[in-house]
Chain A
Amino acid sequence: MGWTTLLLALREIRRNLMRSFLTVLGIVIGVAAVVTMVTLGNGATQSVSDQISSLGSNLLMVRPGQRMGPGSSSSGAPAFGMDDVEAIKSQIGSLNAVAPSVSRSVVLVVGTRNWMSSITGTDSEYFAAGNWTLAEGRAFYVSEERAGKAVCVIGATVQKELFGERSPVGEEMRIKNFSCEVIGVLAAKGQSGMGRDQDDTVLMPLRAVQRRLTGKQDVNMILVSMADGASSEDVIADIKALMRERRKLADNEDDNFDVMDTKEIAKTLSGAIGTMTALLGAVAAVSLLVGGIGIMNIMLVSVTERTREIGIRLAIGALEKEVLMQFLTEAVVLSAFGGLIGILLAALACYGLSSLLGLPFLFDPAINLLAFGFSAAIGVIFGYVPARRAARLDPIEALRHE
Chain B
Amino acid sequence: MNQSNLSAAAAPIITLSAITKTYGQGQAAFQALGGVDLSVQQGEFVAIMGPSGSGKSTAMNILGCLDTPTSGAYIFDGQHVENLSRDQRALLRRDYLGFVFQGFNLLARTSALENIELPLLYRGESAEARHRTAKAALASVGLNGWEHHTSSELSGGQQQRVAIARAIVTNPKVLLADEPTGNLDSKRGHEIMDLLVGMNRDQGITILMVTHEPDIAAYAKRIVHFVDGHVESDTANSKHDSAKDEHG
- Report A's interface with B, CB cutoff 8 A: 1, 4, 15, 308-309, 311-322, 395-396, 399
B221 interface residue per 8 A CB criterion:
no
A308 and B87 in contact, given A1-B124, A316-B93 (Cβ under 8 angstroms) = no
In the complex, 22 of the A-B residue pairs with CB atoms within 8 angstroms, ordered by the A residue number, are A1-B124, A308-B105, A311-B105, A312-B105, A315-B64, A315-B93, A316-B99, A316-B118, A316-B119, A317-B90, A317-B92, A317-B94, A317-B97, A317-B119, A317-B123, A318-B90, A319-B87, A319-B122, A320-B87, A321-B87, A396-B67, A399-B101
Interface size class, chain B = 20 to 34
Distance in angstroms between the alpha carbons of A322 and B91 in the assembled complex = 12
Map CB proximity to A onto B33-47 as digits: 1 under 8 Å, 0 otherwise: 000000000000000
Map CB proximity to A onto B142-165 as digits: 1 under 8 Å, 0 otherwise: 000000000000000000000000
Smallest CB-CB A-B distances: 5 pairs: A317-B94, A317-B93, A316-B119, A319-B87, A312-B105
B contact residues around A314 at 8 Å (CB):
90
Q: Is the CB of A399 within 8 A of B105?
A: yes
Pick the contact of A396 from B61, B124, B166 — CB < 8 Å? B61
Map CB proximity to A onto B77-113 as digits: 1 under 8 Å, 0 otherwise: 0000000001100111111010101000111110000
Report A397 CB to chain B, min CB distance, Å.
Answer: 10
B contact residues around A319 at 8 Å (CB):
87, 90-91, 122
Report B173 CB to chain A, min CB distance, Å.
Answer: 13
Known: A312-B107, A315-B66, A315-B93. 6 other contacts (CB 8 A): A1-B124, A315-B64, A316-B166, A317-B91, A317-B97, A319-B87
B6 interface residue per 8 A CB criterion:
no
Which residue among A4, A312, A316 has the maximum number of chain B CB atoms within 10 Å of its CB? A316
A contact residues around B129 at 8 Å (CB):
none
Distance in angstroms between the alpha carbons of A318 and B99 in the assembled complex = 13
A contact residues around B107 at 8 Å (CB):
309, 312
Distance in angstroms between the alpha carbons of A320 and B99 in the assembled complex = 19
Map CB proximity to A onto B105-137 as digits: 1 under 8 Å, 0 otherwise: 111110000000011011110010000000000
Distance in angstroms between the alpha carbons of A321 and B97 in the assembled complex = 20
B contact residues around A320 at 8 Å (CB):
86-87, 90
Distance in angstroms between the alpha carbons of A104 and B26 in the assembled complex = 97
A contact residues around B109 at 8 Å (CB):
15
B contact residues around A317 at 8 Å (CB):
90-95, 97, 119, 122-123
Which residue among B66, B97, B166 has the maximum number of chain A CB atoms within 10 Å of its CB? B66
Pick the contact of A315 from B95, B99, B106 — CB < 8 Å? B99
Distance in angstroms between the alpha carbons of A248 and B51 in the assembled complex = 114
Distance in angstroms between the alpha carbons of A116 and B124 in the assembled complex = 78
Q: Is the CB of B91 within 8 A of A4?
A: no
Distance in angstroms between the alpha carbons of A309 and B94 in the assembled complex = 16
Q: Is the CB of A395 within 8 A of B118?
A: no
Report B72 CB to chain A, min CB distance, Å.
Answer: 18
A396 and B91 in contact, given A316-B99, A317-B122 (Cβ under 8 angstroms) = no
A316 and B86 in contact, given A308-B105, A396-B61, A399-B105 (Cβ under 8 angstroms) = no
Distance in angstroms between the alpha carbons of A146 and B248 in the assembled complex = 124
Distance in angstroms between the alpha carbons of A309 and B108 in the assembled complex = 8
Distance in angstroms between the alpha carbons of A314 and B86 in the assembled complex = 10
Report B99 CB to chain A, min CB distance, Å.
Answer: 5
Distance in angstroms between the alpha carbons of A399 and B99 in the assembled complex = 12
Distance in angstroms between the alpha carbons of A4 and B107 in the assembled complex = 16
